[in-house]
Structure 1
Amino acid sequence: MLDEPTAGMGVEDIGRTVALVQKLRTGRTVVMVEHNMNVVSTLAGRVTVLQAGQALVEGGYHEIRHEKS
């Protein structure tokens, strides 16, 4: 479980962190809270968008990126 692992990082550190998560997730399920949509689009297999604790939409990143709720 990762809670905003790239928060406050510079661009050069974000890339290294994304690469590390990609390496470590093999054979594992990773649950991550992340607001950086570039990171989400790179790493996420499935996305759940929450608002006030309620799921607004769920699916693949490309499937939901233009979803309006």
Structure 2
Amino acid sequence: MSRGNQRDVDRARNLKKSQASKKKQAGDPTKRLEAQAEIMRAKQRAADERKAAEANGGSKGKK
């Protein structure tokens, strides 16, 4: 038995779906990377401060 044009229709549908999911990120890549790096630096500072507080005063915060 043949599937008719179902295979072609499915391929077209999957192609359309995959193109919709591959949206390009907006903005300048260098600015975006710098912003992400700043976020990571802030997270690292917070983690370092938390570790220092635990080392000095015990474990009062979250684990």
Q: TM-score, normalised by structure 2?
A: 0.31
Query: 1 or 2, which has the higher strand percentage?
Result: 1
Q: TM-score, normalised by structure 1?
A: 0.29
* Greater RCO, 1 or 2 (C-alpha within 8 Å, sep 6+): 1
